[in-house]
Structure 1
Amino acid sequence: MLNPVLIFKTLHCSLQNHWKRVMCCLNYFPFIQVTKAYNYIHKYGYKSKLMAAAVRNKQDLFSLLGVDYIIAPLKILHSLKESVISPEEKYTFVRRLTPQSAAAFKFSEEEHVKWDQLRFASAIGPATEELLAAGLASYVNQTRRVEELFGKIWPPPNV
């Protein structure tokens, strides 16, 4: 089970800071949240995997190295393929997020507080709770649609 404080902070801050576009790479809010989520999952031994999306450019992609899964737009992958790199730099990318860095990461006491459903709901407020419920319902709906599509194509007819 993920820590509700971390989820609450992510929701609260993303709603408050949605209009801000901070371009300082490592201090950019989504990278901080991805780093915290990765460290929490890997430090405490959860079997969950973290998937990062909404990558805007190559620098964002390099900043996320080490995340379990990255969804990158095709245009960024093409720009990586077309990039010219000297032979010395070809294999020098440094993984930012590692299990070792996760083990060493220090969480604040506030991030370790256990919340029950009632405290969590009252802390995030009714509007945020409705948004969260609508978002989760949308994920469920999309999952059902994808499962239906897979049901139509699997197993392949020639098997």
Structure 2
Amino acid sequence: MTDSRSKKAKMTTSLSQLKEMTVVVADTGDFEAMQHFQPTDATTNPSLILAAASQKKYAHLIDKAVQYGKKVGTTAFYSTLNEQIEAALDITCILFGKEILSIIPGRVSTEVDARLSFNKDASIDKAVKLVNLYEEMGIKKDRILIKLASTWEGIQAAKELEEKYGIHCNLTLLFSFAQAIACAEAGVTLISPFVGRILDWYVANTDKKSFESKEDPGVLSVTKIYNYYKKFGYKTVVMGASFRNTGEIKELAGCDLLTISPKLLEELEKSNETVSQTLNEETAKKSDLQKISLDEAEFRWLLNEDQMATEKLSEGIRKFAEDIRKLEKLLRDKIEA
């Protein structure tokens, strides 16, 4: 029986094998890549949207967003240029999301402006607005995941969005166990721990410059979070993200979801190496992890004590904010023209 399974695995691609045990999500804003790799879900962020928006093949979506912004300028009594740009930015995310949902069978993640990462109420308002825009286009909210940074404010915004509005949330820029615990206790739908960026930090800040996949600090972090969630029966699911190589992906086979770039999806598709399930609920429930409960002060202290997580969270928010400003400039130039 084992020999039969082994022969079958060798006949199928590593990507096909992975899809048997994990929901594969495309980490891209490129529609053609999604059509080719046929993921269940897709996730975007400001950097991916900016990269896509800069390509000629998506110019028609940017033109639609610009017209939408200009329309706000003609219908609103005291509309400012900044309000038109904000409207165009919001609808850009929605237009890309709608196109993605016409390709995939599952859900798309759409991100709240990273500049609101420390403002709970503003994050809630923006999330509700984005979901309403989707619904105006005929997209039901059960196909949307609202992405928020895993700050204390972002996590509490997600808690209220889930409980009060029935809006499902994806907590991103997650680098620490403390962030993961707070998200689970808040009852968020999904978290996206960043495997590759954790590895990047350790390579840059320690004497060790290479890691075997089994010892990869990002892989170890996600494994611990997955085991903790399954052992204590949290409803929040884990979506490993930000991979640097296929070795990291294979070491997390069995994770609830994995969001993977087109480059690494292609590598997995071209490979026939056997992919074995490394994460499962049965093993997780046997782990010796102890249950922890965090209030705001404890969360902030543990995050502060984790230099890697503190630095990568701050850096991630700054980078997303920078790309949002670049996207705004692109829209501003077209609106003013």
> What's the TM-score bracket when you normalise by the shorter of the two chains?
0.5 to 0.7
- The one-letter amino acid paired with 1:120 is F
Question: 2:173 aligned with 1:6, yes or no?
Answer: no
Number of the residue aligned with 1:64: 252
Number of the residue aligned with 2:240: 52
Tell me the percent identity. 25
- The one-letter amino acid paired with 2:299 is F
Q: Distance in 2 between matches of 1:72 and 1:78?
A: 10
- The one-letter amino acid paired with 2:298 is R
Q: What does 1:21-40 align with in structure 2 at a 5 Å threshold? A: 21-40=209-228
Q: Contact (CA 8 Å) 1:42, 1:103: kept in 2 or not?
A: yes
Q: 1:116 aligns with which of 288, 295, 320?
A: 295
Q: Distance in 2 between matches of 1:37 and 1:24?
A: 20
TM-score, normalised to structure 2, is 0.30
Aligned to 1:51, the other structure's residue is in SS state: strand
Q: Contact (CA 8 Å) 2:231, 2:285: kept in 1 or not?
A: yes
1:113–1:38 Cα change, 3 Å: closer
| Higher relative strand content | 2
- CA RMSD of the aligned region, Å? 3.6
Q: Which has the higher contact order (CA 8 A, sep 6+)?
A: 1
Q: Distance in 1 between matches of 2:212 and 2:228?
A: 23
1:123–1:30 Cα change, 3 Å: closer
Q: Which has the larger radius of gyration?
A: 2
- The one-letter amino acid paired with 1:102 is A
Which structure 2 residue ranges, 5 or more long, are not aligned? Answer: 1-158, 160-175, 181-192, 325-337
Task: Give CA-to-partner distance per residue, 1:65-121, whole Å, 9 cap, x none.
Answer: 0111111111222222223x3xxx7xx5320000111111111x5xx3433212332
Number of the residue aligned with 2:138: none
Q: Contact (CA 8 Å) 2:178, 2:303: kept in 1 or not?
A: no
Q: Contact (CA 8 Å) 1:22, 1:29: kept in 2 or not?
A: no
- The one-letter amino acid paired with 1:95 is Q
Which structure 1 residue ranges, 5 or more long, are not aligned? Answer: 143-159
Q: 1:94 aligns with which of 263, 276, 301?
A: 276
Q: Contact (CA 8 Å) 2:226, 2:255: kept in 1 or not?
A: yes
TM-score, normalised to structure 1, is 0.59
Question: 2:286 aligned with 1:104, yes or no?
Answer: yes
1:75–1:43 Cα change, 3 Å: same
Q: Distance in 1 between matches of 2:218 and 2:244?
A: 12
Q: Contact (CA 8 Å) 2:230, 2:285: kept in 1 or not?
A: yes
Q: Contact (CA 8 Å) 2:178, 2:302: kept in 1 or not?
A: no
